């Protein structure tokens, strides 16, 4: 039925990628499996949790045509423990799988590959092309603003919006907004979709290429497909209309503070040493001419620190969740950042001159 010769290294790489689409819990036992397929001289590994499917080519592999489904967890553990680089894998007419490497020989039960729920078909037109480095970067610089639960499903995803040659990616969780804009090499019709945050988190861990390595993004009404290197990732989209981001982000401000990003971040990271995990103590920023005073008080202790700044506008005292500030500052690479604010109850936002990134954070109440 199936006879494959593979390299342990190539197989482990494929397993690590496909494992991200194996569900932790499912009512369909076949979804706990990988589908191994050899066809047309290509050996692939596929996993599908019904929300996201991954198909990846196994490098340095050859074999006779055939398919077999194998339990993903056990198969993954066996492959990692094999003693030699060369692996021989075969399956008989009873779906018994034999794995041989060096003097080690495993025999485990497989399942009929015809029962596996394969990756859904999707019509593909012209792809949106983006470097793998940029794709990974914009995901990592926005995904922390998605909501972790499904109380509002929209907040668990990210907006991917294309307008001509401009891509905008946005995420919000009700307390903050993260936006990244980047220029594409080609021009595309205007459209937008909402991509699940889980899918994007997995993509950022799978994509390893640089600026000269490209990913192709294909869109349909219900799905998005990512193609890069030897891998195809297909995911359902979140249905509905995303929040009106443009109405939430304003150019109006009364205070403009330019501050060294590293000094600001270091100070905030020192302040959270005084906060227990579930404590919600605000970081209070007192903005004056030439300096900003940062202070935090908790039952553990207190911190007060001053940092040199450049300020335009009035003096202002405002409080923020320090962890939200940390997330935003870690996502920025600039030496200095510009923080815009209006009053102690209005959102503050960090933005560069080109608006390639915008991080909006709601203030919190504080008692002096």
Q: Model confidence over 274-285: pLDDT tens digits?
A: 998 778 899 999
Count Cβ neighbours within 10 Å for each residue of 210-225 and write b for 16 or more, e otherwise. eeeebbebbbeeebbb
Out of 223, 246, 269, pick the residue that ends a domain: 246
pLDDT band at 83 (very low <50, low <70, confident <90, very high): very high
CA pair distance 161, 214, nearest whole angstrom: 19
- Residue 149: the pLDDT is 80
Q: Domains in the chain: how many in total?
A: 3
Residues 31 and 19 in one domain: yes
pLDDT class of 270 with cuts at 50, 70, 90: very high
- The closest of 223, 150, 163 to 193, measured between CA atoms, is 223
**Proportion of the chain above pLDDT 90, given as a percent:** 89
Residue 31 domain-assigned? yes
Where is the domain boundary, 246, 267, 288? Answer: 246
Whether 209 is covered by a domain: the verdict is: yes
pLDDT at 120: 85
Res 279: pLDDT: 83
Q: What pTM, to 2 d.p., does this model score?
A: 0.93
Kindly state the tokens that stand for 122.
Answer: 């999707």
- Residue 8 maps to a domain: yes
Residue 316 maps to which CATH number?
3.10.150.10
* Two tokens, residue 344: 């102690």
In a domain, 120, yes or no: no
Judgement on whether residues 202 and 224 belong to the same structural domain of the protein = yes
R_g over Cα of the chain: 25
Check whether 290 has a pLDDT greater than 90: yes
Return the pLDDT at 224: 96
Q: Are residues 279 and 353 in the same domain?
A: yes
Same domain as 242, residue 164: yes
Cα→Cα distances 350→3, 153, 323, Å:
57, 26, 15
Task: Based on DSSP, count helices (H) and strands (E) in the chain, helices before strands.
Answer: 7, 23
Q: What is the pLDDT of residues 306-355, one digit of tens each?
A: 999 999 999 999 999 999 999 999 999 999 999 999 999 999 999 999 99
Q: How far apart are alpha carbons 346 and 362 in whole angstroms? A: 7
pLDDT of residue 225: 96
The H or E element that residue 23 is part of is none
pLDDT > 90? residue 250? no
Q: How far is it, in rounded angstroms, from Cα 264 to Cα 325?
A: 9
Same domain? 237 vs 153: yes
- Residue 368 is predicted with a pLDDT of 63
Residues 166 and 263 in one domain: no
Residues 241 and 263 in one domain: no
Same domain, 138 and 81: no
218 and 162 fall within a common domain:
yes
Is pLDDT above 90 for 184?
yes
- Pick the last residue of a domain from 246, 272, 300: 246
Residues with Cβ within 8 Å of residue 250, at least 6 apart in sequence: none
Average pLDDT on 14-43 reads 95
pLDDT at 294: 97
Question: What pLDDT was estimated at residue 202?
Answer: 97
d(CA 104, CA 96): 16
Average pLDDT, the chain: 95
- For residue 225, give its domain range: 128-246
Q: How far from the centroid of its chain's Cα atoms is residue 313's Cα?
A: 37
Mean pLDDT of 171-182: 96
Q: How far is CA 229 from the centre of its chain?
A: 18
């Amino acid at each position: 039925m199936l006879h494959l010769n593979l390299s342990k290294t190539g197989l482990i790489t494929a397993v690590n990628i496909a494992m991200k689409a194996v569900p932790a819990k499912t009512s369909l036992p076949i979804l706990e499996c990988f589908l191994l397929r050899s066809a047309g001289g290509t050996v692939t590994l596929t996993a599908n949790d019904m929300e996201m499917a991954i198909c990846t080519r196994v490098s340095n592999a050859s074999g006779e045509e055939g398919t077999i489904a194998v339990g993903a967890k056990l198969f993954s553990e066996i492959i990692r423990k094999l003693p030699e680089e060369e692996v021989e894998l075969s399956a008989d007419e009873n779906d018994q799988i034999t794995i041989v490497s060096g003097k080690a020989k495993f025999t485990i039960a497989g399942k009929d590959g015809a029962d596996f729920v394969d990756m859904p078909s999707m019509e593909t037109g012209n792809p949106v092309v983006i470097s793998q480095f940029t794709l990974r970067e914009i995901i990592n610089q926005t995904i922390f603003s998605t909501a972790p639960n499904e109380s509002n499903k929209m907040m668990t995803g990210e907006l991917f919006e294309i307008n001509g040659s401009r891509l905008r990616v946005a995420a919000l969780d009700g307390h903050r907004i993260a936006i990244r804009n980047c220029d594409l090499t080609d021009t595309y019709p205007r459209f937008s979709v909402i991509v699940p945050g889980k899918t994007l988190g997995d993509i950022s861990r799978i994509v390893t290429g640089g600026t000269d390595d490209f990913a192709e993004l294909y869109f349909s009404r219900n799905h998005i497909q990512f193609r890069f290197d030897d891998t195809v990732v297909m995911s359902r989209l979140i249905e509905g209309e995303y929040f009106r981001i443009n109405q939430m982000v304003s150019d109006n401000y009364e205070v403009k503070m330019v501050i060294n990003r590293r000094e600001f971040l270091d100070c905030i990271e020192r302040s959270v040493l005084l906060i227990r995990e579930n404590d919600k103590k605000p970081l209070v920023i007192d903005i004056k001419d030439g300096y900003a005073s940062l202070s935090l008080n908790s039952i553990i202790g207190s911190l007060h620190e001053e940092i040199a700044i450049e300020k335009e506008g009035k003096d202002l005292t405002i409080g923020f969740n320090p962890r939200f500030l940390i997330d935003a500052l870690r996502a920025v690479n600039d030496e200095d950042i510009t923080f815009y604010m209006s009053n102690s109850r209005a959102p503050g936002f960090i933005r560069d001159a080109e608006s390639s990134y915008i991080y909006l954070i709601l203030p919190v109440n504080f008692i002096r």
